[in-house]
Amino acid sequence: MTIYIKPISLERPDFAGLLSGISVANGISKDDAAVIENGMNHYAVLVLRDQQITDDQQYAFSEHFGPMEQATGDLDKSGTRRLSMKINDISNLDEDGNVMAIDDRRRQFSLGNRLWHSDSSFKKTPSKFSILSARDIPASGGNTQFSDLRAAWDALAPEIQMECMDKICDHSQLYSRGLLGFTEWTEAEVAFNQPVPQRLVRRHAGSGRLSLYLSAHAGAIHDQPMPEARIFLRELNEHATQPQFVYSHEWQASDLVIWDNRATMHRATRYDSEKVRDLHRTTVSDNAPTLQQHV
Ligand code: OGA
Ligand code: MN
């Protein structure tokens, strides 16, 4: 079978593609991986339908694209977690497979996924790709929306681009959860989640294009008073999430969606949280901290 990619919307020919012609379960060749990587460089989001896969198959597929992250960003890193540490648990289920109670701390923490963010921007070396597999999907709601941060950069006024250029932001899950009033952390969690510096503007390696690097985890800008930093980031976020930059993915069970965290943000939308929603994420790491990458 040959791999074929076409834009999901003809109005947006360089953001969000539909990829057909591979079976993730059967494994892919190096050549297939190169075609997918090229497609990712162009589209930043790729949707694959009808991929019924196991966690091991998902992980093996993901490994083609770089070194793998462990799920250390999840709140629950204990031996009793539902999934292995190779898989980020993007569900509303507890370790017994039941919908989490409303006062379950993990459920409150996971509401952070409803804020626009880039995965693992709170890690020194952040994520390159996230690969999300839909295992069980509610009948309605719970879309994942993606914003195109390269297009958002291109559309900024030149003087704002200049202002952004050399800025360094601090990212931490303490900041993103703080936005929701989730503030009760253990000492160990605070120590583990200390802010890390990230460039605000990145050059996307695979396309050579510049991109904003925004995320709900960004909560401060170096050498700026906090309110100045926060309002600037808020305005950039509002700019970057206007409808013309957003693709909203309506999930079907067995969809697999790959996105490039270096050039996009995403968020989950609301759904009936008493219904099961179960997605499994594998995460490919970038090759260096953003401060070590050239702009
Ligand atoms: C993620 C994420 C959003 C969603 O998988 O990293 O933020 O719609 N998911 O569940
Ligand atoms: Mn995410």
In tens, the pLDDT along 84-143 reads 999 999 999 999 999 999 999 999 999 999 999 999 999 999 999 999 999 999 999 999
Nearest to 290 by CA among 154, 206, 168: 168
CB 239, CB 212: distance < 8 Å: no
The tens digit of pLDDT for each residue in 260-288 reads 999 999 999 999 999 999 999 999 999 99
Predicted local distance difference test score (pLDDT) of residue 76: 83
Distance (angstroms) between ligand 1 centre and the Cα of 261 equals: 12
pTM assigned to the model: 0.98
Pocket around ligand 1: residues whose beta carbon is below 6 Å from it? 90, 113, 119, 130, 132, 144, 266, 268, 279, 281
Ligand 1, atom 6, lies closest to the CA of: 119
Burial of residue 293, with CB atoms counted within 10 A of its CB: 0-12 exposed, 13-18 middle, 19 or more buried? middle
CA angle (36 as vertex; 34, 38 as ends), nearest 5: 70
Nearest to 266 by CA among 251, 252, 254, 253: 251
Integer Cα distance of 223 and 231 in angstroms: 15
Residue labelled with tokens 């009033």: 181
The atom of ligand 1 lying closest to the CA of 117 is 7
